[in-house]
């Protein structure tokens, strides 16, 4: 059993049935479930995912997403004061604030893997970071 933190875009690709990435993400999700892995995220990700339905006024889609993120399928991790120095170091190195917040949350929550489609994040080697992989990494 591993704790795997998905970056924001993976959820968006999956929920919006992205032509290129949705099938791969679904495959990863099914593999995770069969192994008993835990899907992790943060309230920041929930807010980002809800922005699409909010922009279009799709109340039903927003409620469906909120239900998924409140379910036992997802472990909601919180940004803490202890994560702030890691966040600051990432920001100082040029990482965008949302990415730095997600990475710092994942690092301080001791996740095993941070899964992203952002090639820039894959290259981070800062001490204390979880293993960072992209959708192309053959782990699933």
pLDDT digits (tens, 9 = 90+) for 83-124: 999 999 999 999 999 999 999 999 999 999 999 999 888 788
For 120, the domain range is 3-134
- How is residue 138 annotated by DSSP? S
User: Cα angle vertex 94, ends 88, 97, to 5°?
Assistant: 55
Count of structural domains, the chain: 1
Dist CA 81 CA 63 (whole Å): 30
Number of H helices, E strands in the chain: 7, 5
Helix, strand, or coil (residue 24): helix
Is the pLDDT at 140 greater than 90? The verdict is no
CATH of the domain at 88: 3.40.50.1010
Neighbouring residues of 56: CB distance < 8 A, sequence distance ≥ 6: none
In a domain, 140, yes or no: no
- pLDDT tens string 68-77: 999 999 999 9
In a domain, 61, yes or no: yes
Dist CA 4 CA 130 (whole Å): 9
In a domain, 8, yes or no: yes
Model confidence pTM above 0.95: no
């Amino acid at each position: 059993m591993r704790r795997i933190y998905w970056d924001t875009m993976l959820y968006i690709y999956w929920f919006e049935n992205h032509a290129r990435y949705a099938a791969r993400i679904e495959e990863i999700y099914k593999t995770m479930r069969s192994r008993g892995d835990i899907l992790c995220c943060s309230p920041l990700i929930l807010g980002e995912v809800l922005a699409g339905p909010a922009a279009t006024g799709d109340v039903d889609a927003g409620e469906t997403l909120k239900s998924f993120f409140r379910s036992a399928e997802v472990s909601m991790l919180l940004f803490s004061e202890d994560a702030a120095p890691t966040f600051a170091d990432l920001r100082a190195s040029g990482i965008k604030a949302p990415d730095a917040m997600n990475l710092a949350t994942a690092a301080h929550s001791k996740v095993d893997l941070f899964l992203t489609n952002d090639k820039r994040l894959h290259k981070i080697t800062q001490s204390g970071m979880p293993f960072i992989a992209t959708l192309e990494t053959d782990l699933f």
